[in-house]
Amino acid sequence: MQLERYEIRAATLADGDDLYDLSRYLDSVNLPHERTAIDAVLMRSERAFSRTEGDPRRREYVFVLHDLELDRAIGTSIVFGQLGRRDAPYIFFDVKKEERYSQSLDRHFVHSVLSMGYSYNGPTEIGGLVMHPDARRAPERLGQQISYVRFLWIAMHRDYFQNYVLAELLPPLADDGTSHLWEAVGRRFTGLDYREADRLSKTNKEFIRGLFPDGDIYASLLSDDAQAAIGEVGPQTKGVEKLLRRIGFEYVNRVDPFDGGPHFVAPIEKISLLRAAHAVHLGSSDAPEDAPGSLVPHLVGIESDMAPYFRAFSCAIEPSQGGVVALPRAQRDRLQLETGAKLWVLPLRPSRTPPNQGHG
C-alpha cells in the first residue's frame, strides 16, 4: 500500500516560513501576514501542544498540513481553547428584531437592532482555516482533512474545551477587503481603520468597551452595504457554512462587531464529528493491501511527548473490531508505532471545504 504523501502536524516554531507564506491568503487577526506575529502564533501553539501553557483556556492549537514530497506546509487551521476571559472578553453584537407600528399613519417597520454583548466565559473557537491555492482541488480532499483535524483534537481532549464551539464566518467585504459595517460604525466611534482595529483587538479589548456606545444601534441608520453585511455569509465561506450546518452548527443571531460576520455555534455533544471520533489501539497485523470494499477513509491521530507532539494522516482502514485497527506497514514503520499504541480515528466523508474560514 502506498505511503500517504500528506501529514498533519502540530505547528511549532520550525513552521515559521511556511505559515508566513500561507498567511497571505487570509491575513486575519489570528493569522496575520506579519513574520513577528506568525512567530508569536507558533510560540503559543508549541506551548499549547507541549502543555507548557498550563491553563487550557489560553491554549491556541495550530495545525499544519505538510506535503511530504515538497517538504512544505500547504494548509493550516486553529483551535482556541476559550474565547472570552476576564482579561480578554468575547465581544459581539446580538442581532435583534424590533417592530414599530403607527396606527394613525398605518405604517409598520421591522428594524434590525445591534446590541453589544460581552462574555468572560465564552466558547471554544475554531478558525484560521487556509489552504494554499495549488492544493485546494487535490483529489485527496486536503481541505477536509485540515478542517476535520480540529474536531479530532477536541475529541481527544474533551476536558480542555468548553461546552460550546464557535465558528465565525466572513461576511461580504468591499473589493479592497474593508468591512462595510466597520466603516459605518466602528470607524466613527474609534477613529481606527478596519485592519488596525482588528489587529489591536487581538491584545486589547478595552478600546471597544471604552469607545463604543452603550445603547442599541439601529441598522436602518446605516448604509445599505453595512446592513446587507450583518449576519450574511460571504461568497468565500458559503461552502464552510454548508459543512458547519451539516455537522450540527447553527447561526445564533450574533455577529462580529468589526465586520458583521455571522457566528455559528454548536453544543459540543451535538457535533457529529466529535461523536464519530473514538480511541482505538493498533493491532499486531498490517492492513490488507487488497480489500477496497471493506476499507473506509479515516483521519488517524497520534499524540506523543516529543515535538511535533501530534500527527494525523488520512488512511483507508477497516472499521475497528473490538477497539483494534490495522494500519499499512509503511505507516507503522515511518511513525515507529508498536502494537498496542493508542490512536484516535475519525471517519472521513465526501465534502468540499473552501480554502479559508472566516474572521478567525
Q: Does residue 260 lie within any of the structural domains?
A: yes
The residue among 318, 120, 141 whose CA lies nearest residue 209 is: 120
Cβ 254 vs Cβ 243: under 8 Å: no
Counting the structural domains of the chain, the total is: 1
* Burial degree of 52 (CB within 10 A; 0-12, 13-18, 19+): exposed
Buried (b) or exposed (e) across 221-236, using 16+ Cβ within 10 A? ebeeebbbbbbbbbeb
In-domain check, residue 77: yes
Is pTM beyond 0.75 here? Answer: yes
CATH code at 291?
A: 3.40.630.30
Residue 225 lies in a domain: yes
DSSP letter for 321, please. Answer: B
Q: 122 in a domain, yes or no?
A: yes
Per-residue cell: 251: 447561526
Indicate whether 312 belongs to any domain: yes
327, 300 contact by CB (below 8 A): yes
Whether residue 354 lies inside any domain: the answer is no
Within 194-291, strands assigned E span 217-218, 250-255, 262-267, 278-282
Which pLDDT score, from 0 to 100, does residue 351 have? 44
pLDDT at 293: 59
Max CA distance (Å), the chain: 82
358 within some domain: no
pLDDT of the residue at 28: 79
Residue pLDDT tens, the chain, 360 long:
445 789 999 999 999 999 999 999 887 778 888 999 999 999 999 999 999 999 999 999 999 999 999 999 999 999 999 999 888 899 999 999 999 999 999 999 999 999 999 999 999 999 999 999 988 888 888 999 999 999 999 999 999 999 999 999 999 989 888 899 999 999 999 999 998 898 888 888 889 989 998 889 999 999 999 999 999 999 988 888 999 999 999 999 999 999 999 999 999 999 999 999 999 999 988 877 665 557 788 999 999 999 999 999 998 888 777 789 988 888 888 888 999 999 999 998 644 444 445 555
* β-strands 164-168, 250-255 pairing: unpaired
pLDDT of residue 58: 94
Whether residue 360 lies inside any domain: the answer is no
User: What pLDDT score was predicted for residue 86?
Assistant: 85
- b/e sequence 170-202, b meaning 16+ C-beta within 10 Å: bbbbeeeeebbbbbbbbbeebebebbebbbbbe
Q: Give residue 187's domain range.
A: 7-101+110-347
What residue has cell string 508505532? Answer: 337
